[in-house]
Structure 1
Amino acid sequence: MAELMAPARKTWGQTLAAYGRPIMIAMLILGFASGLPLMMVFSKLSFWLRDAGIERSTIGFFYWVTISYTLKPLWAPVVDRMPIPFLTSALGKRRSWMIVAILGTMVGLAMIAFTDPANGLVVTALGAFILSYSGATLDISIDAWRIESGPRDDQANMAAAYVLGYRGAIMFSGFGLAISEWTNWTVSFLVMAATMGACAILVLFMKEPYHAYREPDGKSFGRRVADSVIEPFKQFWDRLGNWIVPVFLLVAFYRLSDFTMGVMASPLYSDMGFDRAIVGGIQSGPGIIATISGGFLGGLIAYRFGVLRTMVVGAVITFATNAAFAYLAATGDSDSVGLLAAVISADNIAAGFVGTAFIAYLSSLTDPLNAATQYALLSSLYALICKFIAGFSGVMAETMGYVGFFVVTASYALPMAALIIFIMLRGTDAARGVRDLEKTADAAP
């Protein structure tokens, strides 16, 4: 408890210097590559669907196409351990899977580009599924690369760089929104596909991380496969014990506000009559400053004061910024560009801040030996529940209106703040994500 009350703190100079290393540039690129596929499904495609006259309830349920992100644990052991013929020997385990996954996102984006949602929604959904499945696979390999490439003390900073890149992808997808206004949606999605191709080229210049050594054994192939799936999940119970319940509840519901609100943000802009170029310009302009501020502020505070404290602050910020969308819906119109910019920027600050702390917390709960599988389990745990509930966001917006909808999504953050404080005050070291940090420090030469 004494360590909780007085954690070791770094100077501001040490904190800022950590961002000047090449690994942080790599995390910036990988965060961008991770964020772009999801945002094209999550936000920009929703805008396209609404413009095409698709009902809000259908748009909400359409978001379930990203269920592939929830099912990551089913094939994470494959990504974690199975080599890709020819590519793995040339590029390494992590980079080879990144390249293959990025190529899949390019196929999905190109397929969506040549569809017409108004007349062929099923084909659009198929392209979105390919995009999201490939994006989920990319996330698995990136998470493993991040965890293996840096010590635990660096994970908060690496998460900040990742979130900055991820949020940069959101901003760039806003530029894609402007492209759709200036040209058409086909050109917009093809530009995004070409951008993912550029990310694949940059991956080739990254360093393959060290992989934890696994002792060879004489077990049968079937036994080894079973162990590769069961062992990573069993470790959570061994480390957390009864605290697995509050920890997994926190993981499952901490991002619920963002998930449910985000599905209806683009339909709100469309229904209020905002020009797509204006929305995209705000996301790609002031939003960039907000993203940098939120991501790095979250990383700096988490690095200096602790991850859980930062998550409490993040929950409060999430409540305020979600409520701002209710205010926009109640008082704004298509001429309220300044208010729109303020709401979008505030949301970007909150998402960057919260995302940095949350990623660092999830990373602290994993074992490097099973990094990809365990991180995929944790990230899929919150995606499973949040995306299922988010699928009903269109029905909620249709039933209670935009104002009531955003008030409800804001309220989701308050119980999470209380749960984090409970874990901080009563939880074990493992539940607070510090046990592995101590073990790593003890083992360091």
Structure 2
Amino acid sequence: MSDTTKSKQSFRENIRTYMKPKMLAMLALGFASGLPLMMVFQKLSFWLREVGIDRSTITFMYWITIAYTLKWLWSPVVDRITLPVIGKAMGQRRSWMIVAIAGTIIGLMTIGQSNPVDALWVTLVGATILAYSGATLDIAIDAWRIEIGETSEQGHLAAVYQLGYRFAIMFSGAGLAIAEYYPWSVSFAAMAGAMAISGVIVIFFIAEPHHAARIKREAKALHRAVADAIVEPFSQLVKRLGWWILPVAALVALYRLPDFTMGVMASPLYADLGYSKVVVGGFQSGVGPWLLIAGAFLGGFSVAAFGTMRTLLIGAPLTFITTAAYAGLASLGAPDMADVIREANNGELIGVAPPPNIYLILAIGADNIAGGFVGTAFIAYLSNLTDPKNAATQYACLSSLYAFFCKFIAGFSGTISEAIGYAGVFLLSATYAIPAAALIIFILWRGTIAAKGEQSFDEDTPDDDPEALATEPGSKPAAT
């Protein structure tokens, strides 16, 4: 059989994979996962800047989303504890999803009814509820995705997850456009309604993984139960990776840093450059997300064709270029003058002519393609590092590592931008892709199968089987 025929068959197999019901379910869950973060990450920051809240306060408030980085603290509870009544009726994963979705609805409604100028603390409370509920929802969804799919399907599931996530971006962009003509309370209420619909989909259309109950919960002493729920998932991850956990942890922490440090400043930049909410929200809910979706599926096909690590390596220069493009956009405007005008008019921004919309479209569009590509590769890598036996806890640990580091650094972006300007902070963000690329090359060159995320997990294989855990550097890994 020719290489071309094999390639065509592989392509057809990839397409058939996307037709499976689990992929449609992943689409809906990706939407539910993305909407809470987008509302607190982008739309709330636009609102706060619009009413005159300074940039430093906005980015320090972004630390609320550190909830997504602390989720490993309660992920063993989501992983092992069955909720009373609803847990028995719906299953482990779906019941936690419903509880978390209810929390996001409460958080969105609280934010929408608050007044950031007179009572910023109420907005803060709503954002906190939204962030912690969204983080809990992510734990349950990530565990569902890892349990429902085989290792070979994780790249495709990650791509579909990205697609659903981008639909959430579209809808949140529409919420921004709504806020141009109606109060922000209407916009946040619309988002809460969308989360309620997601809950209905989870109840009636999402299946519980058939092997979610594979861990036998025998009667054990308290200290043994705690060890099984908390200590074992982390110790197993360390044991499997060995000392390679250090470069792997560094790569996980650094790879998405440019997206976080530039992303938190993007909405304040749009506001200070004078772009209207209709222009920004319209593009974010129109063409922009489709470019991101295209990038996500390109990432999925790249993972299938070249492997996860090589796809991560391709994504590093893409991130550098598209992040640096925002520095060019910032240099075309006059955000410092916008601040002066804002203060002179009691917080209302008027009199600033923004750069032509084409520059905004090019910057956001290029960033969306790159973001979708690297997002798919990164999710696939984290998923492949995770043992399905401890899906929720180990994935939460890995995702919390990068989220904590990235969001902590991103919290200083406002202060840095006030010191060196928008262009400076975006150029600085772009350079963070360089050490990440160096780590990928190092792991590709000398890393074990486990460090590369190429280990196949077999439930019948003991965790301490040395052949299953790693190979010597330079040896040929098993095909995945």
Range of TM-score over shorter length: over 0.9
2:404 pairs with 1:405 = no
SS in 1 for 2:386: coil
Pick one of 370, 376, 385 that aligns with 1:365. 385
Q: CA deviation at 1:302?
A: 0.6
| 2:118 alignment partner in structure 1 | 119
Distance 1:218 1:98, change over 3 A: closer
| 2:332 alignment partner in structure 1 | 331
* Mapping of residues 226-375 of structure 1, within 5 Å: 226-332=227-333, 334-375=354-395
2:88 pairs with 1:89 = yes
Contact kept in structure 2, 1:212 and 1:368, CA below 8 Å: no
Cα separation, 1, equivalents of 2:269 and 2:365: 16
Contact kept in structure 2, 1:257 and 1:410, CA below 8 Å: yes
Residue by residue over 1:65-108, the C-alpha shift from the partner in whole angstroms, topping out at 9 and shown as x without a partner, is 11111110110000011111111111111000000100000000
Cα separation, 2, equivalents of 1:351 and 1:216: 40
Farther-moved stretch of structure 1 (280-289 vs 130-139): 280-289
Contact kept in structure 1, 2:248 and 2:451, CA below 8 Å: yes
Q: CA deviation at 1:331?
A: 2.1
Distance 1:351 1:76, change over 3 A: same
2:158 pairs with 1:138 = no
Farther-moved stretch of structure 1 (215-224 vs 322-331): 215-224
| 1:207 alignment partner in structure 2 | 207
| 1:379 alignment partner in structure 2 | 399
| 1:389 alignment partner in structure 2 | 409
| 1:39 alignment partner in structure 2 | 38
Cα separation, 2, equivalents of 1:116 and 1:14: 52
Contact kept in structure 2, 1:167 and 1:348, CA below 8 Å: no
Q: CA deviation at 1:62?
A: 0.5
2:194 pairs with 1:195 = yes
In structure 1, what residue type is equivalent to 2:25?
A: A
Cα separation, 2, equivalents of 1:84 and 1:380: 23
Q: CA deviation at 1:274?
A: 0.2
SS in 2 for 1:11: helix
In structure 2, what residue type is equivalent to 1:222?
A: H
Cα separation, 2, equivalents of 1:433 and 1:138: 25
| 1:57 alignment partner in structure 2 | 56
Q: CA deviation at 1:164?
A: 1.1
In structure 1, what residue type is equivalent to 2:372?
A: G
Residue by residue over 1:134-164, the C-alpha shift from the partner in whole angstroms, topping out at 9 and shown as x without a partner, is 0000000000000010111100000000011
SS in 2 for 1:274: coil
Cα separation, 1, equivalents of 2:460 and 2:137: 27
Contact kept in structure 2, 1:364 and 1:437, CA below 8 Å: no
2:24 pairs with 1:25 = yes
Distance 1:216 1:272, change over 3 A: closer
Q: CA deviation at 1:212?
A: 5.2
Residue by residue over 1:241-265, the C-alpha shift from the partner in whole angstroms, topping out at 9 and shown as x without a partner, is 1101000000111110001101100
TM (norm. structure 2) is: 0.88
Contact kept in structure 1, 2:273 and 2:355, CA below 8 Å: no
Q: CA deviation at 1:311?
A: 0.5
SS in 2 for 1:207: coil
| 1:101 alignment partner in structure 2 | 100
Cα separation, 2, equivalents of 1:194 and 1:211: 29
Q: CA deviation at 1:437?
A: 5.3
Q: CA deviation at 1:288?
A: 2.5
Cα separation, 2, equivalents of 1:335 and 1:214: 57
Residue by residue over 1:386-437, the C-alpha shift from the partner in whole angstroms, topping out at 9 and shown as x without a partner, is 1110000100110000011100001101111111011011100100011235
* Mapping of residues 120-199 of structure 1, within 5 Å: 120-199=119-198
Contact kept in structure 1, 2:387 and 2:457, CA below 8 Å: no
Distance 1:174 1:440, change over 3 A: farther
Contact kept in structure 2, 1:152 and 1:440, CA below 8 Å: no
In structure 1, what residue type is equivalent to 2:435?
A: P
In structure 2, what residue type is equivalent to 1:41?
A: V
Q: CA deviation at 1:216?
A: 4.8
Cα separation, 2, equivalents of 1:39 and 1:328: 22
Residue by residue over 1:279-308, the C-alpha shift from the partner in whole angstroms, topping out at 9 and shown as x without a partner, is 000111111220221110001111121011
Q: CA deviation at 1:171?
A: 1.9
Cα separation, 1, equivalents of 2:25 and 2:313: 29
Contact kept in structure 2, 1:311 and 1:420, CA below 8 Å: yes
Cα separation, 2, equivalents of 1:440 and 1:207: 25
TM (norm. structure 1) is: 0.95
In structure 2, what residue type is equivalent to 1:273?
A: G
Cα separation, 2, equivalents of 1:94 and 1:307: 27
Contact kept in structure 2, 1:15 and 1:304, CA below 8 Å: no
Q: CA deviation at 1:217?
A: 4.4
Cα separation, 2, equivalents of 1:91 and 1:212: 13
Farther-moved stretch of structure 1 (431-440 vs 80-89): 431-440
Cα separation, 1, equivalents of 2:126 and 2:411: 19
Residue segments in structure 1 that go unaligned for 5+ positions in a row: 1-7
Cα separation, 1, equivalents of 2:155 and 2:459: 17
Aligned residue pairs: how many? 435
Q: CA deviation at 1:223?
A: 2.1
Contact kept in structure 2, 1:212 and 1:369, CA below 8 Å: no
Q: CA deviation at 1:226?
A: 2.8
Cα separation, 2, equivalents of 1:23 and 1:218: 33
Farther-moved stretch of structure 1 (189-198 vs 346-355): 346-355
Contact kept in structure 1, 2:332 and 2:355, CA below 8 Å: no
Residue segments in structure 2 that go unaligned for 5+ positions in a row: 1-5, 334-352, 462-467, 469-480
Q: Pick the structure with more helix per residue.
A: 1
Cα separation, 2, equivalents of 1:260 and 1:171: 21
Q: CA deviation at 1:440?
A: 8.9
Cα separation, 2, equivalents of 1:76 and 1:437: 21
